[in-house]
Chains A and B, each alone.
Chain A
Amino acid sequence: MRSFVVRRLVQAVTVAAAVTTLTFVLIHLAPGDPLAGTMDDPRIAPSVRAHWRQVYGLDRPLPVQYVRFLTGVARGDLGFSVSYNEPVIAVIRRAVPNTLMLAGTALVLSFAAGILIAVIQVRREGTLTDRALGAISLGLYSLPDFWLAQVALLAFSYWLPIFPAGGTIDPVIHPYLGPAAAALDRVRHLVLPAVTLAALTAAWIARFQRAALLDVAADDYLRTARAKGLSEWTILVRHALRNALLPVITLFGLSLSAFVSGAVFVEKVFGWPGIGSVAVDAVGARDYPVIIACTIIGSILVAAGSLIADLLYMLADPRLRRAEGDADGGATSAVAGA
């Protein structure tokens, strides 16, 4: 088990390094640099521009910049953000908890809702309920998340102003709220972005879970369970779901990358100050160190997700626990979709 975890960690670091390099090369291939917006003004003397480019090391050849960047990262220094005018690490440290909060809530919501929908569908297989839920989840699955986010915003904070339009807290009244009211304020701000982010994944999980449940539906041990005299619900939840959960655990690792990339749009729409918002702003500002830091965070999250999925696999399937040594579980491959 330990050797398995170590091997997966090495894999994760390799993936993160590859993704970082790729991002570094790609953003430097694009025109412009962090100073382009402010400095490339005809009124600023070329010598001033050259001076500042030299300060930030932007005048060096690409390989040199890359090596400088890597040695920085190795020392835990992610560089200095031009657009935020503070160290990248400070920007990231502020944003990560917000993203974890949002993605974590969406993760729990989407799995709970997806599995519940699938169980209801299978229990009512072939009925109108099954087909209606199937149509809804297919519809949701086909929607782009940024569109859904904007419609949710329009519907539930403009037309029907139940929820706040953005941010994590109400900046005006939050400091004056008691602990309970402050928590409620956070929850109210969390609902729309979390539900939006969860909706698409929930639909995706529901479709997978339904198929997986129907897959085991013909298994002999379910006939055994029926012969014991268990009710259909007990058979479905205790016997079928327990076996049909395995393929869905695979989705856990994959869904993390979906949440990371989904968060980019959803956070931006809801003004949620997480990694996604930071990444979008950084791309606009050509803030290289911040973009790369976001990419690294993204690939770490995705790699961690697939590692957790593989560990969950072992937990869920007693047959894998003994066979830990051979094969990589093979459940998920970590490729960031950022």
Chain B
Amino acid sequence: MSAGAEPLVEVRRLRKVYALSGRLFGRAAGSLTAVHDVSFAIARGATLALVGESGCGKTTTGRAVLRLVEPTTGRIRFDGIDVLALGPAPLRRLRRRMQPVFQDPYSSLNPRMRVGAIIREGLVIHGLAEGAAADARVRELMAEVGLRPEHARLYPHEFSGGQRQRVGIARALAVEPDFIVCDEPVSALDVSVQGQVINLLLDLQRDRGLTYLFIAHDLAVVAQIATHVAVMYLGRIVEHGPAAAVYRDPIMPYTRALLSAVAPPDPTARLQRLALVGDAPSPRAAPRGCSFFARCPHPRKDAECTRTVPALELKAPGHSAACIKEPPRAPVDGLIPPPLIPSVLDGDDIHR
């Protein structure tokens, strides 16, 4: 994981526009830009956390990276392969190397299949194992994620939420991927189980050198696992940097608000919450200028903010933010690591 090594995953100006269907027989009544020119890269073995409120486009981004939804425009490179240029058959082969773990461990497992069959299917499809060897591999995988191998004969509904998420992880691991998109893998779980699953993901990353794109709405969960953090707001990345820098010195007022919502482990500590006013605007009617303007508590915000869409700019080494009112800051001390990867590939504003 040396600086300058080619990243495993590289996403450039990813955009996903949904046409809003109009009335009966009507033409598209408009469009919704769920993901707006998102760019990032993830080094091998690193974990980029994509955080933001629900509806900010983080899940769509994660699915688009795996081509589970087709991006409208943009480029995705996976280990040097142009993912968006692949036809159906090569794409299916590439899927072996990049896997998702979904948010909902209830709906993401086929209710009519035994978990052994769910885990096994990928193995067989990609020709990794067959027959008794595949069964043995299923048992190994189940043991690896902390499930009892003899439970391979059970159906998903016979497991608890945490166990089901372990099945989901074993299923993803079965095809020996290099890259896993974890889409809020613990959001549906109890807090105590969340920790166990996060630890499992960390162990697997250490043992197998996995690369993660970890999607979450909760910065507390992310703190344990992320090497880098990207904060999304209304379809755009508004802050991006090494996890340590983002946590210690958040630049965007939005990131500060998110961080202030993290409950401290000490229950007696007073929570200094920086509450935001109002809701995120609908991406159907995105405001002009800075999309965060209406809720922004920044003391220097003014009319200028409503005129320009702020571009992501480097404000500190490896740490960029999209705010025209925040000046670049000198490195606070030598503790902020140099960037492992360029945080933004294109700084230019292509907003029409």
What's the minimum C-beta distance from B242 to chain A, rounded to whole angstroms? 29
Instruction: Give A280 to B139 CA distance when docked, in angstroms.
Output: 63
Residues of B112-148 contacting chain A, CB below 8 A = 112-113, 118, 121-122, 125-126
Q: With A230-B121, A230-B125 as known contacts, state yes or no: A242 contacts B110, CB within 8 Å.
A: yes
A77: Cβ under 8 A from any B Cβ: no
How many residues of A sit at the interface, in one of the four size bands? 20 to 34
Which A residues lie within 8 Å of B60 (CB)? Answer: none
Taking CB atoms, residues of chain A closer than 8 Å to B100 are: 223-224, 227
The main secondary structure of chain A at its interface with chain B is helix
Take A220-B104, A220-B107, A319-B157 as given contacts and tell me if A227 and B68 are in contact as well, using a CB distance cutoff of 8 Å: yes
B184 to A: closest C-beta gap in Å: 12
A269 close to chain B: CB less than 8 A: no
In the complex, the chain A residue whose C-beta lies closest to that of B122 is A228
Give the chain B neighbours of A219 by CB distance below 8 A.
107
CB atoms of B110 and A227 under 8 A apart: no
The chain B residue sitting closest to A221, CB to CB, is: B110
Least CB distance, B352 to chain A, in whole angstroms: 30
Tell me which residues across on chain B come within 8 A of A243, comparing CB atoms. 110-112
- Say yes or no for B95: interface residue by CB 8 A criterion: yes
Q: Are A221 and B122 in contact (CB under 8 A)?
A: no
Is B284 engaged at the interface, CB distance under 8 Å to the other chain?
no
A225 touches B (CB below 8 Å): yes
State whether A318 touches B157 (Cβ < 8 A).
Answer: yes
Contact B125 A229 (CB under 8 A): yes
Closest residue to A227 on the B side, CB-wise? Answer: B100
Contact: A221 with B95, CB < 8 Å? no
Is residue B40 within 8 Å, beta carbon to beta carbon, of the partner chain? no
Chain A residues, Cβ within 8 Å of B102: 220, 223-224
Take A220-B102, A221-B107, A227-B95 as given contacts and tell me if A318 and B121 are in contact as well, using a CB distance cutoff of 8 Å.
no
Known: A223-B68, A224-B102, A319-B155. A229 touches B108 (CB 8 A): no
CB nearest to B97 among chain A residues:
A229
Q: Which of chain A's residues 303-338 have a Cβ closer than 8 Å to chain B?
A: 316-319
Q: Is the CB of B108 within 8 A of A318?
A: no
**Distance of A178 from chain B, by nearest CB (Å):** 46
Q: Does A239 touch B at the CB level, under 8 Å?
A: yes
Mark each residue of chain B from 92 to 104: 1 if its CB lies under 8 Å from any CB of chain A, else 0. 1101100110101
With contact pairs A223-B100, A319-B155, A319-B157 given, residues A231 and B92 touching in the complex (Cβ less than 8 Å): yes
**Chain B residues, Cβ within 8 Å of A223:** 63, 68, 100, 102, 108
B66 at the interface (CB under 8 A from A): yes
Contact between chains at A319 and B95 (CB < 8 Å) = no
Indicate if B234 sits at the interface (CB-CB under 8 A).
no
* Cα–Cα, bound, A225→B63 (Å): 14
Cβ–Cβ contact A228 & B112, under 8 A: no
**Residues of A contacting B88 in the complex (Cβ-Cβ under 8 angstroms):** 231-232
- Write out, one digit per residue, whether chain B residues 159-195 have a CB within 8 A of any chain A CB (1) or not (0): 0000000001001100100000000000000000000
User: Do residues B95 and A220 form an inter-chain contact, with CB atoms below 8 A?
Assistant: no
B109 within 8 A of A: yes
Nearest B-chain residue to A317, judged by Cβ: B112
Q: Which residues of B contact A225 (CB under 8 A)?
A: 110, 121
**A28 interface residue (CB < 8 Å to B):** no
A126 CB to closest chain B CB, in angstroms? 13
> How many Å from the CB of B331 to the closest CB on chain A?
41
**In the complex, which residue of chain B has the Cβ closest to the Cβ of A230?**
B125
- B107 contacts which chain A residues (CB < 8 A)? 219-221
Which residue of chain B is the closest to A322 with respect to CB atoms? B158
Residues in B whose Cβ lies below 8 Å from that of A230: 92, 121, 125
Q: CA A239 – CA B108 in complex, angstroms?
A: 12
B229-257 vs A, CB cutoff 8 Å, 1 = contact: the mask equals: 00000000000000000000000000000
A318 to B107, CA, bound (A): 15
- A229-B93, A229-B175, A318-B157 given; A224·B125 CB < 8 A: no
* Contact yes or no, A242 B171, CB < 8 A: no
A220-B108, A221-B111, A243-B111 known; A228-B175 Cβ under 8 A:
yes
Instruction: Provide the bound-state CA to CA distance between A219 and B113, in Å.
Output: 15
Nearest A residue to B174 by beta-carbon distance?
A228
- Whether a CB of chain B sits under 8 angstroms from the CB of A226 is yes
Complex interface residues of chain A between 240 and 281 (CB less than 8 A to chain B):
242-243
Q: Which residues of B contact A231 (CB under 8 A)?
A: 88, 92
Mark each residue of chain A from 200 to 238: 1 if its CB lies under 8 Å from any CB of chain B, else 0. Answer: 000000000000000000011101111111111000000
In the complex, what residues of B have CB within 8 A of residue A224's CB?
100, 102, 108-110, 118, 168, 171
Question: Which chain A residues lie closer than 8 Å to B93 at the CB level?
Answer: 229
The residue of chain A having its C-beta at the shortest distance from the C-beta of B69 within the complex is A223
Residue of A220, A221, A229, A239 with most partner-chain B CB within 10 A: A229
Q: Which chain A residues numbered 159 to 180 have a C-beta less than 8 Å away from chain B?
A: none
A residues near B111, Cβ cutoff 8 Å: 221, 243, 317-319
The list of the 5 closest CB pairs from A to B, nearest first, reads A229-B95, A220-B108, A220-B107, A229-B92, A221-B110
**4 other A-B residue contacts (CB within 8 Å) besides A223-B108, A227-B172:** A220-B104, A227-B99, A228-B171, A239-B110
**Which B residues have a C-beta under 8 Å from some C-beta of A?**
63, 66, 68, 88, 92-93, 95-96, 99-100, 102, 104, 107-113, 118, 121-122, 125-126, 155, 157, 168, 171-172, 175
Using CB atoms and an 8 Å cutoff, list the residues of chain A in contact with chain B: 219-221, 223-232, 239, 242-243, 316-319
Q: List 17 A-B contacts (CB under 8 A).
A: A220-B104, A223-B63, A224-B100, A224-B108, A225-B110, A226-B95, A227-B68, A227-B100, A228-B171, A229-B96, A229-B126, A231-B88, A239-B110, A242-B113, A243-B111, A317-B112, A318-B112
